[in-house]
Amino acid sequence: MKHTRHLLAAVALVAGSAGWAQQAPPPGMPVPPPGLMEHLRELQAKFNATPDTPGDGAYPAIKEEVPSLPDHVVYRPANLSKLGGHKLPILVWGNGGCSADGASARLHLAEIASHGYLAIANGTIKSGPGAPPQPPMPMPQPGQPMQIPPPETTASQLTQAIDWAIKENARPDSPFYGKLDTDAIAVSGWSYGGVQALTVATSDPRIKAVIIHDSGLFANPAPMPGMDLPKSALDRLHTPILYVLGGPSDIAYANGMDDYARITKVPAAVVNIGDVGHGGTFYDPNGGKAAQIALAWLDWQLKGDADAKRMFVGADCGLCRDPQLKLEKKGID
């Protein structure tokens, strides 16, 4: 099961790509056991066929592409008129593999949006309901490691999403006019998208919260272009940061734990979800446990929610009592 999650995650990082690079894979890429890649193709097809879900929050969510923000997918409460006086904090999201599939974490992002957030992912809808047909996932030659395509998105697209949201909040004829909390902005991402998120978190003073999923910076040269943010950049963090990792079988475990150890200037926490591997819980209903952990962090950091704070603070915190989780923290209690 760990190997399946590990490789399914790798598939997800590049699913929906316009093309795969025929280049030598970086050291350490997994060599799929016989028959497993075919099985993963079936699993990916099953995930693509999974219906969109509105999340289980008070504001059922939808995903959409918005003409005024090309190359992004917006997740928001479906009925903005029911927000009342609640203003939506903003979360911008980097996809796994820096892929241009803005629907690759759709269950996770819809869940967050349903709790009263505007979430924006890089890319367009390339998987799941509403996606155009995509070429079948290519299979590596027997005994050969998987290959990684070049990044299809950039960290600057996360900044573009923030700029767009702020302008929409101020535009009188926008559906988001006056409905966004532009002082409550978070950045997050999965795997290589987490490096994109760190790039913005260490350079944009508007960021108020950071969540890094199954990711971490590389101490050595990164295996993908644009992923070479140095470890020293962690000293430029100006806001609390949370890492959510998949345990020792997560291929990003060592990088993420090393990041956490190096962070000294801001409060930091790392949560390992058992040993679920690099795929985390992104394929689980409503994003699974990772989405609930992320929501608690966002509600605490961006909304000042006292119940969410108790999930992290104190020796008897909510996450501390969960036997499936291992929480480490500093500067928080």
Quote the pLDDT of residue 150. Answer: 79
CB 77 within 8 A of CB 59: yes
**Is residue 36 over pLDDT 70?**
no
Beta bridge partners of 270: 243, 328
What's the number of CA atoms in the CB half-sphere (13 Å) around residue 316?
0
Q: Please provide the average confidence, as pLDDT, over all residues in the chain.
A: 88
CB 130 within 8 A of CB 2: no
**Is residue 309 over pLDDT 90?**
yes
Average pLDDT, stretch 121-133? Answer: 92
pLDDT tens profile 154-203: 999 999 999 999 999 999 999 999 999 999 999 999 999 999 999 999 99
Average pLDDT, stretch 249-276? Answer: 96
Quote the pLDDT of residue 264. Answer: 96
**b/e sequence 301-320, b meaning 16+ C-beta within 10 Å:** bbbeeeebbebbbeeebbbe
Average pLDDT, stretch 55-82? Answer: 97
**Is residue 2 over pLDDT 60?**
no
Q: List, in order of start, the domains of the chain with CATH numbers.
A: 2-18+26-330 (3.40.50.1820)
**Residues ≥6 apart with Cβ < 8 Å to 316:** none
Amino acid making up residue 242? L
**DSSP β-ladder status, 268-273 and 325-330:** antiparallel
Question: How many degrees, rounded to 5, is the angle at CA 312 between CA 183 and CA 96?
Answer: 65
Quote the pLDDT of residue 11. Answer: 45
Quote the pLDDT of residue 282. Answer: 93
Average pLDDT, stretch 95-100? Answer: 89
pLDDT tens profile 295-304: 999 999 999 9
How many whole angstroms separate alpha carbon 325 and alpha carbon 274? 6
How many whole angstroms separate alpha carbon 282 and alpha carbon 304? 26
How many whole angstroms separate alpha carbon 273 and alpha carbon 292? 12
Quote the pLDDT of residue 21. Answer: 34
Quote the pLDDT of residue 35. Answer: 64
How many whole angstroms separate alpha carbon 252 and alpha carbon 278? 7
Average pLDDT, stretch 229-241? Answer: 97
pLDDT confidence band for 48 (50 / 70 / 90):
confident
Beta bridge partners of 246: none
Distances (CA, A) of 235 to 49, 218, 271: 42, 15, 21
User: pLDDT above 90 covers what percent of the chain?
Assistant: 71
Average pLDDT, stretch 217-226? Answer: 78
Distances (CA, A) of 18 to 21, 134, 156, 285: 10, 8, 20, 27
Quote the pLDDT of residue 252. Answer: 92
